[in-house]
Each structure stands twice: as C-alpha cells, then as structure tokens.
Amino acid sequence: MAKNDGWSREQLIVALKLYCEMPFGKMHSRNPDIIRFAKLIGRSPSALAMKLTNLASLDPQIRSSGRKGLSGASQADRDIWEEMTSDWDLLANEIARVELYYTGVGLPVELEVDSEEILVSYAGKTRSVTVEARIGQSFFRQSVLSAYEFKCCISGIAIPELLVASHIVPWRADPSNRLNPRNGLCLSAIHDRAFDLGLIAISDDLSLLLSARLRHSGTNSYIGHTFRSYEGKTITMPEKFPPNSGFLKFHRENVFCK
C-alpha cells in the first residue's frame, strides 16, 4: 500500500494513462475503471478521480472549452504532464513498465497495425513484438476513441467495433508521433480506409474534403450517402487532443488525391 502523503511516479503514470484513455465526463469515483485502478495502486477512488481532474486543469484543450478541472495540480503533476505529453513513446513505455510493476504481467491487447508494421519500433528500428508495442497501440486507440466519445468524427457512428483510431500522418512517415493522440482521428472503418487511401482529407477549417474520384463517382447511392453527403461539413471535434493542423496539412499534401 502506497503512502497517502505523496504520489509516486508509478501512481502518476497510471493517473495520466487513465486521463488520456477516459472521456472527461467519466472521471468520477463511481466509475468502475477508476475503482479498479485505485485498488491496484493503493489509492481511494475519490483520490484517483481528483487526480484526473487535477490533470485536466493542465490540458489546454480542456481549459479552452471552459472546463477547468480542479485547481490543485501539484508540481509533480505539472512535471509528469510536460514530460509525457512531449514524448508519447516514453509514455507508452512507462505504461508498460508500470503495468508490470503493479501486476507482474503485460496486458494481452490486440494490435491495429498491419503485421509488417508491427516489426517497426517507435524509433523506426526493427524489433520483436513486445508488451510495450501492444500497450502502445492500445493506448493510442483508447486515447483517440475516448477523446471523440467513441463516435466517428465524420458520420457520428457510435459502435466501437466499427471504429478505428486512424493515423493522420501515416505510421511510417513520422515515428515520433505514432502514439500522439493529436495524430489521430476517430473514424468508421470505411472512412478510415478512404482517409488512408487519400480519397478524403480534412481542410484547415476542419471540414471534409473529397477527392475528384469520389466527387465524380456518378450516381452511386452508397458513395453519395457515405461520402458526398458529408462534403464541406465540419468534423465533430474531440473533447481532448484535437487534430494537429500540421499533421492535417501533411496528409493533404502527401496523401490526399485531389
């Protein structure tokens, strides 16, 4: 049981993991996930929930939305926020380390990348599949989907099994941002595939752009309903981790088939 007079680095990593992976509205002491993780790290559910809202006070997106969280963030909270949100690979590795620290085992989670991509490390070097890789991919998916409240930002589809945490800058193109939630969009599987192929893109004003191939696809009703009906409409913005404008520009200039 950890002391209650100060949060260890391991406890703060767990709190930051939950903050990234949990919708803002669920950061309360009655949430079963908070209860479970609080028990794991030796804190009360109310203390862990309060720590999450302290972290929220450090998030620029939360502050800009008018929600301030609590004002009791410590210097340790600020330090861990700055350290981890400037290096998402480090956070993924720390999550893996802390999972082992508290449980002695890694989490058996599924990967969302292609098999050939699994062999590429976060730094771009060949590596075997490890607990860190699995937790990293799980972290990215959960962070992106929870930020968009588990809804496709184009269509509003809210069936998690049909949703993908889609990379804006492709996996191979920017190793340092593979796990950055701001390099992700929550998309339905069909919109994810179209985004990866450059058939759609997101403009500077966050509206949907269609390639000429989709715009001139004749009278196909499925294409019309799935893509043309959303052209020019603004995507639904996430409550955390908004898409980075530089990443969207990279996709328009290097992937999008105008």
- Return mean pLDDT, the chain: 84
pLDDT at residue 132 in the model = 58
The answer to whether residue 58 scores a pLDDT higher than 70 is yes
* 78-110 pLDDT per residue, tens: 999 999 989 998 898 898 888 888 876 544 333
Helix 131-147 / helix 88-103 crossing angle, nearest 10 deg:
110
pLDDT at residue 67 in the model = 59
58-62, 155-159, 223-227, range with greatest mean pLDDT:
155-159
pLDDT at residue 63 in the model = 67
Give 192's pLDDT tier (boundaries 50, 70, 90).
very high
The end-to-end CA distance of the chain, in Å, is 58
Instruction: Using only the alpha carbons of the chain, give its radius of gyration.
Output: 19
Among 97-101, 150-154, 208-212, the range scoring the smallest mean pLDDT is 97-101
Per 3-state DSSP, the chain is made up of helix, strand and coil in percentages (nearest 5) of 50, 10, 40
Residues counted in the chain: 258
Give 124's pLDDT tier (boundaries 50, 70, 90).
very low
The answer to whether residue 126 scores a pLDDT higher than 60 is no
The answer to whether residue 119 scores a pLDDT higher than 80 is no
pLDDT at residue 66 in the model = 60
Average pLDDT on 242-246 reads 95
Percent share of the chain, pLDDT over 90 = 61
CB 168 within 8 A of CB 250: yes
